[in-house]
Amino acid sequence: MSAYGEDLGRRKFLSGIIGVVAGAVATIVGLPAIGYLISPGVKRQNQEKWLTLGPVASLAPGVPSGFPYSRKIKDGWVEATQTGVAYALTADGQNVNVFSNVCTHLSCRVSWDDTRKGFACPCHDAFFSVDGKVLAGPPPRPLDQFQTKIENGQIQILLEA
Ligand code: FES
């Protein structure tokens, strides 16, 4: 082999080594960088959270009380404020059921109708009993209930991601 041929072989060999090393460096540096960039988009950032509504002593037995609430939620890179009204109901002043005001038909907001003693949905004339059962209209199931606890006399609900 000529000196020129040996030089060409050495160059190819060194180019190959440099390519392998550059690839390894790119992988070592690049993977964590890619993970850092995409992790907010795939991470669930809204963990379950207990939210305090108010004192259980403020409830009148048999009459739902509406507690407005809001919380910041983060979904990937998008931040938003979730708002709602939770209706708390007690019969004995100790055990409390808390209903969502989101209609189970198409998610319009129900409100307490004190005259008719139930929850009315304005969108398609649905009507729910005081304990959330469907009495009229198209909703397929009762009003959703929050998981609830009472701590230091305060009603708390569990909000999930
Ligand atoms: S959304 Fe409530 S009845 Fe349709």
Q: pLDDT tens digit string along 101-133?
A: 999 999 999 999 999 999 999 999 999 999 999
Q: What is the atom index within ligand 1 of the atom nearest the CA of 124?
A: 3
- Report whether 30 contacts 59 (CB < 8 A): no
Ligand 1 atom 3 nearest Cα = 124
Ranges of residues in the chain with a pLDDT under 50 are none
| Ligand 1 atom at minimal distance to the Cα of residue 107 | 1
Which residues line the pocket of ligand 1, CB cutoff 6 A? 103, 105-106, 108, 121, 123-124, 126, 137-139
CA 94 to chain centroid = 28
User: What pLDDT is recorded for position 39?
Assistant: 66
Looking at residue 136, what is its pLDDT? 98
Confidence at residue 33, expressed as pLDDT on a 0 to 100 scale: 73
CA–CA separation, 104 and 101 (whole Å)? 9
* Positive or negative torsion for Cα 90, 107, 83, 158: positive
The pTM (predicted TM-score) of the whole model is 0.72
**Burial bucket for residue 66 (CB in 10 Å: 0-12, 13-18, 19+):** middle
* Nearest protein CA to atom 1 of ligand 1, as residue: 106
Q: Provide the pLDDT for residue 5.
A: 67
From 110, 121, 135, give the residue whose CB has the most ligand 1 atoms within 8 Å, as the site to mutate. 121
